[in-house]
Structure 1
Amino acid sequence: MKNNKIAVLIDSCTDVPKEYIEKHGMYIVPLSINYSFGQFQDGVNITAQEVYDNFSKEIPTTSLPTGETIMKQFDKIQQDGFKEVIIVTISSGLSGTNNMITQIAKEFPNLDCRIIDTKNIGIGAGLTGILAGQLVSQDLNINEIEKRLNKSVEDTKIFFCVSTLEYLQKGGRIGLVTAVMGTALGIRPIISCNEDGVYYTVKKARGRKKVISEALNLALTHGKGHKFNLAIAHGDALEEAKEIYDELKGKLPDCKEILFGQISPALVVHTGPGLIGIGIQLAD
Protein backbone atom coordinates (compact mmCIF):
# COMPACT_ATOMS: atom_id res chain seq x y z
CA MET A 1 0.00 0.00 0.00
CA LYS A 2 1.30 3.45 -0.89
CA ASN A 3 1.79 6.06 1.78
CA ASN A 4 0.04 9.16 0.44
CA LYS A 5 2.88 11.40 1.58
CA ILE A 6 6.17 9.72 0.70
CA ALA A 7 7.13 7.70 -2.37
CA VAL A 8 9.95 5.12 -2.42
CA LEU A 9 12.11 4.88 -5.55
CA ILE A 10 14.72 2.13 -6.00
CA ASP A 11 16.96 0.95 -8.83
CA SER A 12 16.69 -2.56 -10.22
CA CYS A 13 20.06 -3.75 -8.88
CA THR A 14 18.88 -3.40 -5.29
CA ASP A 15 17.13 -6.73 -5.90
CA VAL A 16 14.13 -5.86 -3.72
CA PRO A 17 11.79 -8.86 -4.09
CA LYS A 18 8.67 -8.28 -6.15
CA GLU A 19 6.33 -8.83 -3.21
CA TYR A 20 7.90 -5.92 -1.30
CA ILE A 21 7.82 -3.66 -4.35
CA GLU A 22 4.11 -4.36 -4.69
CA LYS A 23 3.34 -4.21 -0.97
CA HIS A 24 4.92 -0.77 -0.54
CA GLY A 25 4.05 0.61 -3.98
CA MET A 26 7.69 1.24 -4.86
CA TYR A 27 8.80 2.91 -8.07
CA ILE A 28 11.71 1.23 -9.82
CA VAL A 29 14.36 2.45 -12.24
CA PRO A 30 15.85 -0.38 -14.35
CA LEU A 31 19.47 -0.39 -15.47
CA SER A 32 20.21 -1.25 -19.11
CA ILE A 33 21.63 -4.49 -20.50
CA ASN A 34 23.29 -4.12 -23.89
CA TYR A 35 23.77 -6.76 -26.58
CA SER A 36 25.01 -6.34 -30.14
CA PHE A 37 21.42 -7.02 -31.23
CA GLY A 38 19.65 -4.64 -28.86
CA GLN A 39 19.25 -2.95 -25.50
CA PHE A 40 17.08 -4.34 -22.71
CA GLN A 41 15.79 -3.04 -19.37
CA ASP A 42 16.92 -4.97 -16.33
CA GLY A 43 14.14 -7.27 -15.16
CA VAL A 44 11.58 -5.65 -17.46
CA ASN A 45 12.06 -7.31 -20.83
CA ILE A 46 14.91 -9.68 -20.01
CA THR A 47 15.30 -12.31 -17.29
CA ALA A 48 18.34 -13.60 -15.44
CA GLN A 49 17.91 -16.98 -17.13
CA GLU A 50 17.98 -15.38 -20.58
CA VAL A 51 21.31 -13.74 -19.72
CA TYR A 52 22.73 -17.10 -18.62
CA ASP A 53 21.40 -18.80 -21.74
CA ASN A 54 23.09 -16.22 -23.98
CA PHE A 55 26.53 -16.32 -22.29
CA SER A 56 27.85 -18.88 -24.79
CA LYS A 57 27.02 -16.47 -27.63
CA GLU A 58 27.71 -13.08 -26.08
CA ILE A 59 28.54 -11.55 -22.71
CA PRO A 60 26.58 -8.28 -22.67
CA THR A 61 27.48 -5.01 -20.99
CA THR A 62 25.41 -2.94 -18.62
CA SER A 63 24.84 0.79 -18.52
CA LEU A 64 23.07 3.36 -16.39
CA PRO A 65 19.31 3.80 -16.55
CA THR A 66 18.45 6.18 -19.35
CA GLY A 67 17.65 9.75 -18.41
CA GLU A 68 14.25 9.32 -20.02
CA THR A 69 13.50 6.29 -17.83
CA ILE A 70 14.41 8.14 -14.64
CA MET A 71 12.44 11.25 -15.60
CA LYS A 72 9.36 9.14 -16.35
CA GLN A 73 9.46 7.72 -12.84
CA PHE A 74 9.75 11.18 -11.28
CA ASP A 75 6.90 12.41 -13.49
CA LYS A 76 4.76 9.49 -12.37
CA ILE A 77 5.59 10.12 -8.72
CA GLN A 78 4.42 13.74 -9.13
CA GLN A 79 1.31 12.71 -11.03
CA ASP A 80 0.45 10.28 -8.24
CA GLY A 81 0.39 13.21 -5.84
CA PHE A 82 3.59 12.75 -3.85
CA LYS A 83 5.65 15.65 -2.55
CA GLU A 84 8.44 13.68 -0.86
CA VAL A 85 10.60 10.82 -2.14
CA ILE A 86 12.98 8.39 -0.49
CA ILE A 87 15.45 7.11 -3.10
CA VAL A 88 17.53 4.00 -2.39
CA THR A 89 20.33 3.07 -4.80
CA ILE A 90 23.19 0.64 -5.14
CA SER A 91 26.66 1.84 -4.22
CA SER A 92 27.97 4.98 -5.90
CA GLY A 93 31.34 3.24 -5.70
CA LEU A 94 30.15 0.57 -8.14
CA SER A 95 27.74 2.43 -10.40
CA GLY A 96 26.95 5.94 -11.58
CA THR A 97 23.23 5.26 -11.00
CA ASN A 98 23.15 7.17 -7.71
CA ASN A 99 24.77 10.25 -9.26
CA MET A 100 22.53 10.18 -12.33
CA ILE A 101 19.35 9.97 -10.26
CA THR A 102 20.67 12.73 -7.99
CA GLN A 103 21.24 15.05 -10.95
CA ILE A 104 17.84 14.38 -12.51
CA ALA A 105 16.09 14.84 -9.15
CA LYS A 106 17.27 18.45 -9.21
CA GLU A 107 15.01 19.01 -12.20
CA PHE A 108 11.98 18.35 -9.99
CA PRO A 109 12.07 21.20 -7.42
CA ASN A 110 8.56 20.41 -6.20
CA LEU A 111 9.76 17.04 -4.89
CA ASP A 112 11.69 16.78 -1.62
CA CYS A 113 14.09 13.96 -2.57
CA ARG A 114 16.24 12.19 0.02
CA ILE A 115 18.83 9.95 -1.65
CA ILE A 116 20.32 7.02 0.23
CA ASP A 117 23.60 5.66 -1.13
CA THR A 118 23.62 2.15 0.35
CA LYS A 119 27.33 1.60 -0.36
CA ASN A 120 26.15 -1.91 -1.15
CA ILE A 121 24.93 -4.10 -4.00
CA GLY A 122 22.12 -6.53 -4.74
CA ILE A 123 20.05 -7.61 -1.76
CA GLY A 124 22.64 -5.92 0.48
CA ALA A 125 21.19 -2.68 -0.90
CA GLY A 126 17.72 -4.17 -1.13
CA LEU A 127 17.47 -4.74 2.61
CA THR A 128 17.72 -0.97 3.04
CA GLY A 129 15.12 -0.51 0.29
CA ILE A 130 12.73 -2.85 2.09
CA LEU A 131 13.28 -0.96 5.34
CA ALA A 132 12.43 2.28 3.51
CA GLY A 133 9.07 0.84 2.50
CA GLN A 134 8.40 -0.38 6.02
CA LEU A 135 9.25 2.96 7.61
CA VAL A 136 7.11 4.89 5.12
CA SER A 137 4.17 2.61 5.94
CA GLN A 138 4.56 3.59 9.61
CA ASP A 139 3.79 7.22 8.69
CA LEU A 140 7.10 8.52 10.01
CA ASN A 141 8.27 11.89 8.76
CA ILE A 142 10.88 11.97 6.03
CA ASN A 143 13.65 13.30 8.28
CA GLU A 144 13.28 10.38 10.69
CA ILE A 145 13.14 7.88 7.81
CA GLU A 146 16.29 9.33 6.24
CA LYS A 147 18.10 9.13 9.60
CA ARG A 148 17.13 5.50 10.16
CA LEU A 149 18.05 4.47 6.63
CA ASN A 150 21.50 6.03 6.89
CA LYS A 151 21.99 4.06 10.10
CA SER A 152 20.87 0.93 8.24
CA VAL A 153 23.55 1.51 5.60
CA GLU A 154 26.16 1.17 8.35
CA ASP A 155 24.47 -1.93 9.78
CA THR A 156 23.94 -3.89 6.55
CA LYS A 157 26.52 -6.14 4.91
CA ILE A 158 26.71 -8.60 2.06
CA PHE A 159 29.21 -11.41 1.65
CA PHE A 160 29.29 -13.26 -1.65
CA CYS A 161 31.18 -15.96 -3.47
CA VAL A 162 31.57 -16.37 -7.22
CA SER A 163 32.68 -19.42 -9.17
CA THR A 164 34.99 -17.26 -11.31
CA LEU A 165 36.27 -13.67 -11.33
CA GLU A 166 36.08 -13.57 -15.13
CA TYR A 167 32.84 -11.59 -15.27
CA LEU A 168 33.81 -9.05 -12.61
CA GLN A 169 37.06 -8.46 -14.51
CA LYS A 170 35.41 -8.12 -17.91
CA GLY A 171 32.83 -5.73 -16.52
CA GLY A 172 35.45 -3.58 -14.84
CA ARG A 173 33.90 -4.18 -11.41
CA ILE A 174 36.80 -6.02 -9.81
CA GLY A 175 37.42 -3.22 -7.29
CA LEU A 176 39.97 -4.22 -4.65
CA VAL A 177 39.41 -7.95 -5.15
CA THR A 178 42.55 -9.96 -5.92
CA ALA A 179 42.39 -10.51 -9.65
CA VAL A 180 43.78 -14.06 -9.64
CA MET A 181 42.09 -16.94 -7.87
CA GLY A 182 44.26 -19.84 -6.75
CA THR A 183 42.85 -22.27 -9.28
CA ALA A 184 45.28 -25.10 -8.59
CA LEU A 185 44.72 -24.92 -4.84
CA GLY A 186 41.03 -24.06 -5.10
CA ILE A 187 41.50 -20.78 -3.22
CA ARG A 188 38.44 -18.56 -3.52
CA PRO A 189 37.67 -15.06 -2.21
CA ILE A 190 34.72 -13.93 -0.12
CA ILE A 191 33.76 -10.52 -1.49
CA SER A 192 31.99 -7.64 0.22
CA CYS A 193 31.72 -3.85 -0.09
CA ASN A 194 33.98 -1.60 1.98
CA GLU A 195 33.04 1.73 3.58
CA ASP A 196 33.39 3.40 0.17
CA GLY A 197 31.05 0.88 -1.40
CA VAL A 198 33.79 -0.81 -3.45
CA TYR A 199 34.32 -4.56 -3.76
CA TYR A 200 37.12 -6.01 -1.68
CA THR A 201 38.25 -9.42 -0.46
CA VAL A 202 37.17 -10.03 3.12
CA LYS A 203 38.67 -13.48 3.42
CA LYS A 204 39.85 -16.43 1.34
CA ALA A 205 39.08 -20.11 1.72
CA ARG A 206 39.86 -23.34 -0.07
CA GLY A 207 37.05 -25.03 -1.95
CA ARG A 208 33.47 -24.10 -2.79
CA LYS A 209 31.79 -25.53 0.32
CA LYS A 210 34.32 -23.96 2.66
CA VAL A 211 34.12 -20.51 1.12
CA ILE A 212 30.30 -20.50 1.29
CA SER A 213 30.45 -21.70 4.91
CA GLU A 214 32.91 -18.93 5.77
CA ALA A 215 30.71 -16.30 4.09
CA LEU A 216 27.78 -17.43 6.21
CA ASN A 217 29.95 -17.34 9.34
CA LEU A 218 31.01 -13.77 8.54
CA ALA A 219 27.38 -12.73 8.19
CA LEU A 220 26.28 -14.38 11.42
CA THR A 221 29.27 -12.91 13.26
CA HIS A 222 28.16 -9.46 12.08
CA GLY A 223 24.73 -10.15 13.54
CA LYS A 224 25.90 -11.64 16.83
CA GLY A 225 24.21 -10.05 19.83
CA HIS A 226 21.53 -8.39 17.67
CA LYS A 227 18.20 -9.12 16.10
CA PHE A 228 18.76 -9.26 12.34
CA ASN A 229 17.30 -9.96 8.91
CA LEU A 230 19.09 -12.37 6.61
CA ALA A 231 18.97 -12.78 2.82
CA ILE A 232 20.16 -15.69 0.70
CA ALA A 233 20.76 -14.64 -2.92
CA HIS A 234 21.94 -16.81 -5.78
CA GLY A 235 22.95 -16.56 -9.40
CA ASP A 236 22.19 -19.84 -11.16
CA ALA A 237 22.98 -21.75 -7.96
CA LEU A 238 19.46 -22.58 -6.81
CA GLU A 239 20.12 -25.94 -5.16
CA GLU A 240 23.05 -24.66 -3.09
CA ALA A 241 21.06 -21.61 -2.03
CA LYS A 242 18.08 -23.78 -1.07
CA GLU A 243 20.31 -25.97 1.09
CA ILE A 244 21.52 -22.92 2.99
CA TYR A 245 17.97 -21.59 3.38
CA ASP A 246 16.58 -24.92 4.57
CA GLU A 247 19.45 -25.36 7.00
CA LEU A 248 18.95 -21.94 8.58
CA LYS A 249 15.17 -21.56 8.55
CA GLY A 250 13.78 -21.73 12.05
CA LYS A 251 17.20 -22.33 13.63
CA LEU A 252 18.30 -18.76 14.27
CA PRO A 253 16.33 -17.32 17.21
CA ASP A 254 17.69 -13.82 16.62
CA CYS A 255 16.74 -13.82 12.93
CA LYS A 256 13.49 -11.95 12.28
CA GLU A 257 13.22 -12.86 8.60
CA ILE A 258 15.11 -14.78 5.92
CA LEU A 259 14.70 -13.60 2.33
CA PHE A 260 15.50 -15.81 -0.63
CA GLY A 261 15.89 -15.05 -4.32
CA GLN A 262 17.72 -14.86 -7.65
CA ILE A 263 19.90 -11.85 -8.45
CA SER A 264 18.86 -9.36 -11.13
CA PRO A 265 19.83 -9.84 -14.80
CA ALA A 266 22.21 -6.85 -14.65
CA LEU A 267 24.08 -8.35 -11.71
CA VAL A 268 24.24 -11.68 -13.54
CA VAL A 269 26.23 -9.90 -16.26
CA HIS A 270 28.94 -8.97 -13.76
CA THR A 271 29.09 -12.11 -11.63
CA GLY A 272 28.37 -14.97 -14.02
CA PRO A 273 26.84 -18.29 -12.97
CA GLY A 274 27.44 -19.80 -9.55
CA LEU A 275 27.03 -16.84 -7.19
CA ILE A 276 25.96 -17.30 -3.58
CA GLY A 277 25.37 -14.15 -1.54
CA ILE A 278 24.53 -13.74 2.14
CA GLY A 279 23.07 -10.38 3.13
CA ILE A 280 22.53 -9.34 6.74
CA GLN A 281 20.86 -6.30 8.29
CA LEU A 282 20.86 -5.51 11.99
CA ALA A 283 17.25 -5.00 13.05
CA ASP A 284 17.22 -3.86 16.67
Structure 2
Amino acid sequence: MSFSKTRPLVLVGAGKMGGAMLAGWIASGTDPNSILVIDPAPSDELLAMASDKGFRQETKVPEGVTAGVLLLALKPQMMASALGALKPAADADTLVISVAAGTPASVFEEAFGDAAVVRVMPNTPAQVGRGMSVAFANARTSAAQRATVDQLLAAIGASAWIESEDQMDAVTAVSGSGPAYVFYLTEALAAAGVKAGLPEELAMTLARQTVCGAGELMYRVETPAAELRRNVTSPNGTTAAALGVLMAEDGLQPIMDAAVAAARKRSQELAG
Protein backbone atom coordinates (compact mmCIF):
# COMPACT_ATOMS: atom_id res chain seq x y z
CA MET A 1 0.00 0.00 0.00
CA SER A 2 1.17 3.53 -0.71
CA PHE A 3 1.25 4.82 2.86
CA SER A 4 3.54 4.53 5.84
CA LYS A 5 4.39 6.29 9.09
CA THR A 6 6.15 9.02 7.12
CA ARG A 7 3.45 9.22 4.41
CA PRO A 8 0.40 8.11 6.38
CA LEU A 9 -3.07 6.98 5.46
CA VAL A 10 -4.98 10.12 6.44
CA LEU A 11 -8.68 9.57 7.15
CA VAL A 12 -10.66 12.80 7.25
CA GLY A 13 -13.97 12.22 9.02
CA ALA A 14 -14.59 9.30 11.36
CA GLY A 15 -18.38 9.13 11.40
CA LYS A 16 -20.31 5.96 10.63
CA MET A 17 -18.68 5.25 7.28
CA GLY A 18 -15.21 6.56 8.11
CA GLY A 19 -15.33 4.80 11.47
CA ALA A 20 -16.37 1.52 9.82
CA MET A 21 -13.47 1.76 7.39
CA LEU A 22 -11.03 2.60 10.18
CA ALA A 23 -12.15 -0.38 12.25
CA GLY A 24 -11.89 -2.65 9.21
CA TRP A 25 -8.35 -1.51 8.39
CA ILE A 26 -7.11 -2.12 11.89
CA ALA A 27 -8.88 -5.49 12.15
CA SER A 28 -7.30 -6.56 8.85
CA GLY A 29 -3.79 -5.80 10.11
CA THR A 30 -2.99 -2.28 8.92
CA ASP A 31 -0.27 -0.76 11.11
CA PRO A 32 -2.00 1.83 13.35
CA ASN A 33 1.20 3.89 13.31
CA SER A 34 0.63 4.55 9.61
CA ILE A 35 -2.89 5.95 10.20
CA LEU A 36 -3.74 9.57 10.99
CA VAL A 37 -7.38 10.39 11.67
CA ILE A 38 -8.59 13.97 11.28
CA ASP A 39 -11.91 14.78 12.93
CA PRO A 40 -12.74 18.27 14.23
CA ALA A 41 -15.22 16.88 16.76
CA PRO A 42 -13.96 13.43 17.75
CA SER A 43 -16.40 11.20 19.58
CA ASP A 44 -15.54 9.58 22.88
CA GLU A 45 -15.56 6.26 21.03
CA LEU A 46 -12.97 7.50 18.52
CA LEU A 47 -10.72 8.89 21.26
CA ALA A 48 -10.92 5.62 23.18
CA MET A 49 -10.15 3.66 20.03
CA ALA A 50 -7.14 5.85 19.27
CA SER A 51 -5.80 5.28 22.78
CA ASP A 52 -6.40 1.54 22.58
CA LYS A 53 -5.21 0.85 19.02
CA GLY A 54 -2.42 3.42 18.76
CA PHE A 55 -3.31 5.45 15.69
CA ARG A 56 -2.85 9.21 15.73
CA GLN A 57 -5.92 11.43 16.03
CA GLU A 58 -5.99 15.19 15.43
CA THR A 59 -8.66 17.85 14.92
CA LYS A 60 -6.82 19.23 11.87
CA VAL A 61 -3.95 18.16 9.64
CA PRO A 62 -0.66 18.95 11.39
CA GLU A 63 1.88 21.05 9.52
CA GLY A 64 4.43 19.08 7.57
CA VAL A 65 2.24 16.00 7.04
CA THR A 66 2.04 14.69 3.48
CA ALA A 67 -0.44 11.88 2.96
CA GLY A 68 0.31 8.74 1.01
CA VAL A 69 -3.46 8.23 0.89
CA LEU A 70 -5.94 10.98 1.73
CA LEU A 71 -9.39 9.47 2.27
CA LEU A 72 -12.24 11.94 2.60
CA ALA A 73 -15.24 10.58 4.51
CA LEU A 74 -17.06 13.87 4.89
CA LYS A 75 -20.62 14.84 4.18
CA PRO A 76 -20.94 16.54 0.77
CA GLN A 77 -22.05 19.83 2.32
CA MET A 78 -18.83 19.93 4.39
CA MET A 79 -16.49 19.13 1.52
CA ALA A 80 -16.04 22.57 -0.05
CA SER A 81 -14.97 24.23 3.19
CA ALA A 82 -12.60 21.37 4.08
CA LEU A 83 -10.66 21.03 0.82
CA GLY A 84 -8.66 24.24 1.19
CA ALA A 85 -7.25 23.20 4.56
CA LEU A 86 -6.41 19.73 3.25
CA LYS A 87 -4.51 20.83 0.14
CA PRO A 88 -1.13 21.20 1.93
CA ALA A 89 -1.36 17.53 2.99
CA ALA A 90 -1.29 16.27 -0.62
CA ASP A 91 1.32 16.26 -3.35
CA ALA A 92 1.55 14.75 -6.84
CA ASP A 93 2.10 11.27 -5.35
CA THR A 94 -0.88 11.36 -2.97
CA LEU A 95 -3.85 9.13 -3.74
CA VAL A 96 -7.06 11.05 -2.96
CA ILE A 97 -10.13 8.91 -2.24
CA SER A 98 -13.59 10.35 -1.63
CA VAL A 99 -16.64 8.54 -0.27
CA ALA A 100 -18.81 11.67 -0.43
CA ALA A 101 -22.04 11.02 -2.34
CA GLY A 102 -22.81 13.32 -5.24
CA THR A 103 -19.40 15.02 -5.38
CA PRO A 104 -17.74 14.41 -8.77
CA ALA A 105 -14.06 13.63 -9.22
CA SER A 106 -13.55 16.99 -10.95
CA VAL A 107 -14.03 18.78 -7.60
CA PHE A 108 -11.02 16.95 -6.16
CA GLU A 109 -8.97 17.32 -9.34
CA GLU A 110 -9.46 21.08 -9.09
CA ALA A 111 -8.53 21.11 -5.41
CA PHE A 112 -5.50 18.81 -5.56
CA GLY A 113 -4.11 19.42 -9.03
CA ASP A 114 -2.16 16.46 -10.38
CA ALA A 115 -3.13 13.97 -7.67
CA ALA A 116 -4.73 10.63 -8.52
CA VAL A 117 -8.42 10.76 -7.54
CA VAL A 118 -10.73 7.83 -6.84
CA ARG A 119 -14.40 8.32 -6.08
CA VAL A 120 -16.06 5.55 -4.06
CA MET A 121 -19.70 4.81 -3.30
CA PRO A 122 -19.88 2.44 -0.29
CA ASN A 123 -23.01 1.44 1.60
CA THR A 124 -23.98 1.02 5.25
CA PRO A 125 -23.39 -2.77 5.58
CA ALA A 126 -19.73 -1.71 5.61
CA GLN A 127 -20.34 -1.23 9.34
CA VAL A 128 -20.40 -5.03 9.73
CA GLY A 129 -17.80 -5.82 7.06
CA ARG A 130 -20.40 -6.72 4.45
CA GLY A 131 -20.53 -3.53 2.40
CA MET A 132 -20.63 -3.09 -1.35
CA SER A 133 -18.33 -0.35 -2.64
CA VAL A 134 -18.04 0.83 -6.24
CA ALA A 135 -15.06 2.92 -7.36
CA PHE A 136 -14.23 5.24 -10.26
CA ALA A 137 -10.64 6.36 -10.91
CA ASN A 138 -9.45 9.37 -12.87
CA ALA A 139 -6.85 9.06 -15.62
CA ARG A 140 -3.98 9.87 -13.24
CA THR A 141 -4.63 6.80 -11.09
CA SER A 142 -2.07 4.03 -11.60
CA ALA A 143 -2.65 0.28 -11.46
CA ALA A 144 -0.76 0.19 -8.16
CA GLN A 145 -3.03 2.88 -6.71
CA ARG A 146 -6.11 0.95 -7.85
CA ALA A 147 -4.70 -2.06 -6.01
CA THR A 148 -4.34 0.09 -2.89
CA VAL A 149 -8.00 1.08 -3.16
CA ASP A 150 -8.98 -2.58 -3.53
CA GLN A 151 -7.08 -3.44 -0.35
CA LEU A 152 -8.63 -0.59 1.63
CA LEU A 153 -12.15 -1.49 0.49
CA ALA A 154 -11.66 -5.21 1.13
CA ALA A 155 -11.62 -4.40 4.85
CA ILE A 156 -15.32 -3.42 4.69
CA GLY A 157 -16.70 -5.89 2.16
CA ALA A 158 -16.80 -6.40 -1.61
CA SER A 159 -15.89 -3.85 -4.29
CA ALA A 160 -16.18 -3.27 -8.02
CA TRP A 161 -14.96 -0.68 -10.54
CA ILE A 162 -16.76 1.38 -13.15
CA GLU A 163 -14.96 3.07 -16.03
CA SER A 164 -17.54 5.82 -16.60
CA GLU A 165 -18.31 8.23 -13.77
CA ASP A 166 -21.75 8.76 -15.28
CA GLN A 167 -22.68 5.31 -13.94
CA MET A 168 -22.14 6.44 -10.35
CA ASP A 169 -25.68 7.82 -10.11
CA ALA A 170 -27.09 4.40 -11.00
CA VAL A 171 -24.68 2.76 -8.54
CA THR A 172 -25.95 5.11 -5.85
CA ALA A 173 -29.54 4.20 -6.70
CA VAL A 174 -28.92 0.45 -6.57
CA SER A 175 -26.30 -0.30 -3.90
CA GLY A 176 -25.81 3.03 -2.14
CA SER A 177 -29.49 3.46 -1.32
CA GLY A 178 -30.31 -0.23 -1.68
CA PRO A 179 -30.02 -1.25 1.99
CA ALA A 180 -32.96 1.05 2.76
CA TYR A 181 -35.06 -0.83 0.20
CA VAL A 182 -34.25 -4.12 1.92
CA PHE A 183 -35.05 -2.67 5.35
CA TYR A 184 -38.39 -1.42 4.04
CA LEU A 185 -39.09 -4.83 2.49
CA THR A 186 -38.60 -6.29 5.96
CA GLU A 187 -41.05 -3.77 7.43
CA ALA A 188 -43.60 -4.50 4.70
CA LEU A 189 -43.29 -8.28 5.09
CA ALA A 190 -43.77 -7.99 8.86
CA ALA A 191 -46.80 -5.72 8.42
CA ALA A 192 -48.32 -8.22 5.99
CA GLY A 193 -47.77 -10.95 8.58
CA VAL A 194 -49.66 -8.93 11.18
CA LYS A 195 -52.54 -8.47 8.74
CA ALA A 196 -52.53 -12.23 8.19
CA GLY A 197 -53.05 -12.80 11.93
CA LEU A 198 -49.59 -12.99 13.49
CA PRO A 199 -48.58 -11.09 16.65
CA GLU A 200 -46.53 -8.00 15.75
CA GLU A 201 -43.34 -9.10 17.52
CA LEU A 202 -43.42 -12.56 15.97
CA ALA A 203 -44.16 -11.16 12.51
CA MET A 204 -41.11 -8.88 12.70
CA THR A 205 -38.91 -11.72 13.98
CA LEU A 206 -39.99 -13.93 11.08
CA ALA A 207 -39.52 -11.16 8.50
CA ARG A 208 -36.17 -10.02 9.83
CA GLN A 209 -34.70 -13.51 10.15
CA THR A 210 -36.01 -14.50 6.72
CA VAL A 211 -34.40 -11.49 5.03
CA CYS A 212 -31.12 -12.01 6.92
CA GLY A 213 -31.09 -15.72 6.16
CA ALA A 214 -31.85 -15.25 2.47
CA GLY A 215 -29.11 -12.65 2.22
CA GLU A 216 -26.63 -14.94 3.95
CA LEU A 217 -27.54 -17.77 1.59
CA MET A 218 -26.89 -15.57 -1.46
CA TYR A 219 -23.59 -14.51 0.11
CA ARG A 220 -22.38 -18.05 0.72
CA VAL A 221 -23.36 -19.70 -2.57
CA GLU A 222 -22.74 -18.67 -6.18
CA THR A 223 -26.18 -19.81 -7.30
CA PRO A 224 -27.98 -17.01 -9.21
CA ALA A 225 -30.78 -15.30 -7.32
CA ALA A 226 -33.34 -16.42 -9.92
CA GLU A 227 -32.36 -20.07 -9.40
CA LEU A 228 -32.53 -19.72 -5.63
CA ARG A 229 -36.03 -18.32 -6.07
CA ARG A 230 -37.04 -21.24 -8.27
CA ASN A 231 -35.62 -23.69 -5.73
CA VAL A 232 -38.07 -22.37 -3.12
CA THR A 233 -41.03 -22.39 -5.49
CA SER A 234 -43.00 -25.63 -5.76
CA PRO A 235 -45.45 -25.77 -8.68
CA ASN A 236 -48.90 -24.56 -7.61
CA GLY A 237 -47.66 -24.13 -4.04
CA THR A 238 -47.85 -21.24 -1.58
CA THR A 239 -44.70 -19.52 -2.84
CA ALA A 240 -45.92 -19.73 -6.42
CA ALA A 241 -49.17 -18.08 -5.36
CA ALA A 242 -47.31 -15.20 -3.75
CA LEU A 243 -44.93 -14.80 -6.68
CA GLY A 244 -47.88 -14.64 -9.00
CA VAL A 245 -48.66 -11.32 -7.32
CA LEU A 246 -45.09 -10.06 -6.95
CA MET A 247 -44.10 -10.96 -10.52
CA ALA A 248 -47.29 -9.73 -12.18
CA GLU A 249 -47.11 -6.98 -14.79
CA ASP A 250 -47.98 -4.42 -12.10
CA GLY A 251 -46.00 -6.19 -9.37
CA LEU A 252 -42.63 -5.55 -7.76
CA GLN A 253 -40.46 -5.01 -10.87
CA PRO A 254 -42.10 -1.80 -12.13
CA ILE A 255 -42.12 -0.43 -8.59
CA MET A 256 -38.41 -1.20 -8.21
CA ASP A 257 -37.71 0.31 -11.63
CA ALA A 258 -39.44 3.52 -10.59
CA ALA A 259 -37.69 3.62 -7.22
CA VAL A 260 -34.21 3.22 -8.73
CA ALA A 261 -34.99 5.78 -11.42
CA ALA A 262 -36.12 8.28 -8.76
CA ALA A 263 -32.96 7.74 -6.71
CA ARG A 264 -30.76 8.04 -9.80
CA LYS A 265 -32.47 11.29 -10.80
CA ARG A 266 -32.02 12.74 -7.32
CA SER A 267 -28.34 11.75 -7.33
CA GLN A 268 -27.90 13.63 -10.61
CA GLU A 269 -29.62 16.68 -9.13
CA LEU A 270 -27.40 16.66 -6.04
CA ALA A 271 -24.30 16.47 -8.22
CA GLY A 272 -25.45 19.59 -10.05
Q: Same fold (TM over 0.5)?
A: no
The structure with the largest alpha-carbon Rg is 2
For the superposition of Structure 1 and Structure 2, which TM-score range results when normalised by the shorter chain? 0.3 to 0.5
Going by fraction, where is strand more abundant, 1 or 2? 1
State TM-score, norm by structure 1. 0.36
Q: Compare relative contact order (CA 8 Å, sep 6+) and give the higher one, 1 or 2.
A: 1
TM-score (norm 2): 0.37
